[in-house]
Structure 1
């Protein structure tokens, strides 16, 4: 199972269980909370009525007062109120009054006048100076029919002369309870969903960041050029830095070992030639032969110097993971400068050079590296073009790619060599001398193109060889 999925599942379980227990706990507190609030209001109402009724209860004139008519009118009122979006169209309080013995003197519902309520807790406890309250079902088989009753003592000089009870059915509170539970449920589900979305995003970001770092490590292990992922601080940035430092140290060690072996191997041949010529020069020989051996020493020394310089340039390019500095360079001017630098060689061979690049065309590149790459191509082309032959620079387009093309007239490249031309130290003998080059030129060109997001293509065409430097079209302007 992927790391991102495992992180998300753990996050899902944590958020889901936490949300469930929190919502369930709050829902369990809504019902008693609403009823406690309603009970507190009933206590205030009952005590207010106790003070209002005290004089009539003391005088025994409760039945002759206007209170029965007032309570009857109260029961018929239709408030038409909107309480938090819920309509209230009728009043729900029931009010009854008992004397000091618990006998009902007045009942707003006209159901219990004359009955003995002394055994009901609201009356029983209140008559004994305690807080009297009860919750009783109107229908014993229906839990939703319960009614809250709160009693308050009617006092005369500290003596309890009666009890007034205010009752309210719990069913009248149920719409508010249901509404609160629904809102809490929707809000809870929304918050859980939002939390899961955040968790999914976090898991995706973390997994993606780790995959980028993994791809980078795999690319490095395969010897491919890869760009270090960029992270803004934190442990991932530290991990990326540690991986990069490890790569640099390990790659640097292996790189040095490989180049030492390569350089040692490639220098054996010219060193052996120089040593052999120097030993022969120590003995007597004709002047012409002496000059020939001295020339061999000079040419082999030049070959060694060229090999070392090419290796250093190639090592510099191979160590780069990306281009630090790039600039827009006029491509035609760069080619003209290279042709001018080789003008003596071109004129001595009688070559025909044609340059068909737009003069206003600019290339986004690292100027020094691209100059060196094109210079290597031109060197190769000059080596394999016969006297009086043709060189042609032009531009080719292929969809999202564009190529700097160099054609040189000459013999076709053998099929066995086509796939190895950019291989390090692989070289074909030059037609004019029969000698091979260092075999590092095209390898250098390929490395430079990879840094620029391009590719090298060498192939035979009618009348000669064509080399194309393919680059993304957005690098030309």
Structure 2
């Protein structure tokens, strides 16, 4: 299971399920809370009415007295009360009074007068001096048909209980309030849970994206490609990325030394062996002048080869240091190409090769290391001049737009053999030159490293008209 999915599931279990659990509890508490509020109000009403009914009950004229008249008038009143989101249009209290024996002596509905209510909890408990209340469904098993009954004692002047007064209210009259409250709480609760999950999904996606950038960075590092240290909004992930970058620098420094010391030692073995053999032969006193001169030339050629190898290795060291610095100074690509061509003018003349330049008059600005860019151009020129036949031309072209600068170097030499195409960018791999000898095998590899350092690319292929064309493409500076 992916880390992002695990985080989202964990967040849902902690926040989502907790929110749903809290929502269920709140919804379940709505109905009893509303009923408790109604019952509390009914207690006040029952005690107030019991105090008003005491005089008529004590005088034995409750059914015809002033209290009964006022209660009947209450039942006939019209009401139109918009209470927040509930519109009340009826008065729902039913009021009945019993004597001390529990027999009904007054009923606002007129249906229970004379009946014995002494067994009902509201009457029985009130007459015994306790709090009396009950909830009785009109239809068995149907909670919606229940009626609240709250009773209060009726006292005489001496404080003795002479009866009970009950206020009754059907549950159905408050069900719209309860239903609306439950719906509102459920709706907003689910919206809150959904918002929490959306926030969790957003945070999970951000975290996954940050981890994904770290994974991409690690893959690029493992494959030896240059990569920028990823940044994220989380300080811990930034610290991890910086730690990975530091580890990369230390490992690359160690591997760089090991790899290139081994490569240099391997490449120097052959010329050193040649120098040693020639030196031993030159030490013979009876060696003829002709062979002596030949062996002396061999010593010079192998020394030059070793010097070229050492110079290239120093260039690799400079390139590695530049990669760690990630320099981004502006420089003129056209001027760098002109300078590289000027430095190789003598070499081209010595090989009877003409350099044809097709460069724009206006400067083309790039961001990066201008010295390394000139080095890449020089390496492409060295290869082209080495493989160009006498009396031929090497064409150097530079073109650019706001988005990228393109350099092409074309020679008219024999081209790249098919078997060598996959290996031309390998370090220390080189082909025999038409004039004899071999290169260091580091030129094109060096150009590729410089191109990658500048987030560009290098392509080398046989030209349809003969020879080889190398195309170095680097991105232009960002707008603004």
CA contact (8 A) 1:226 1:321 kept: no
Q: 1:140 to 1:379 in 2, by over 3 A?
A: closer
5+ residue gaps, structure 1, are none
CA contact (8 A) 2:145 2:172 kept: yes
Q: 1:199 to 1:475 in 2, by over 3 A?
A: closer
CA contact (8 A) 2:327 2:369 kept: yes
Deviation at 1:162, TM superposition (A): 3.2
Deviation at 1:328, TM superposition (A): 3.3
CA contact (8 A) 2:341 2:378 kept: no
1:360 equivalent to 2:363? Answer yes
Paired position in structure 2 for 1:146: 146
Q: How many angstroms apart in 1 are the aligned matches of 2:228 and 2:476?
A: 21
Deviation at 1:39, TM superposition (A): 0.5
Which 10-residue stretch deviates more, 245-254 or 123-132? 245-254
Q: How many angstroms apart in 1 are the aligned matches of 2:104 and 2:376?
A: 112
Paired position in structure 2 for 1:324: 326
Paired position in structure 2 for 1:424: 427
Deviation at 1:14, TM superposition (A): 4.6
CA contact (8 A) 2:138 2:147 kept: yes
1:135 equivalent to 2:135? Answer yes
Paired position in structure 2 for 1:273: 274
Residues 109-124 of structure 1 aligned to structure 2 (within 5 Å): 109-124=109-124
Local SS of the residue matching 1:273: helix
Paired position in structure 2 for 1:163: 164
Deviations 1:344-382 (A, max 9, x none): 444554624322335233223332221211121122223
Deviation at 1:147, TM superposition (A): 1.1
CA contact (8 A) 1:352 1:388 kept: no
Q: 1:274 to 1:26 in 2, by over 3 A?
A: same
Paired position in structure 1 for 2:205: 204
Q: How many angstroms apart in 1 are the aligned matches of 2:131 and 2:76?
A: 30
Per the normalisation by structure 1, the TM-score is: 0.87
Per the normalisation by structure 2, the TM-score is: 0.86
Paired position in structure 1 for 2:337: 335
Residues 221-370 of structure 1 aligned to structure 2 (within 5 Å): 221-284=222-285, 293-317=295-319, 324-346=326-348, 349=352, 351-370=354-373
Paired position in structure 2 for 1:374: 377
CA contact (8 A) 1:392 1:406 kept: yes
What is the number of residues matched between the two proteins? 476
Q: CA RMSD in A?
A: 3.3
Paired position in structure 1 for 2:195: 194
Local SS of the residue matching 1:412: coil
Q: How many angstroms apart in 1 are the aligned matches of 2:332 and 2:282?
A: 51
CA contact (8 A) 1:149 1:166 kept: yes
Q: How many angstroms apart in 1 are the aligned matches of 2:126 and 2:418?
A: 114
Paired position in structure 2 for 1:79: 79
Deviations 1:60-90 (A, max 9, x none): 4444444333322322334322333122111
Paired position in structure 2 for 1:383: 386
Paired position in structure 1 for 2:92: 92
Local SS of the residue matching 1:68: helix
Deviation at 1:263, TM superposition (A): 0.8
Q: How many angstroms apart in 2 are the aligned matches of 1:475 and 1:468?
A: 22
Q: 1:123 to 1:131 in 2, by over 3 A?
A: same
5+ residue gaps, structure 2, are none
CA contact (8 A) 1:318 1:447 kept: no
CA contact (8 A) 1:227 1:321 kept: no
CA contact (8 A) 1:352 1:389 kept: no
Residues 27-46 of structure 1 aligned to structure 2 (within 5 Å): 27-46=27-46
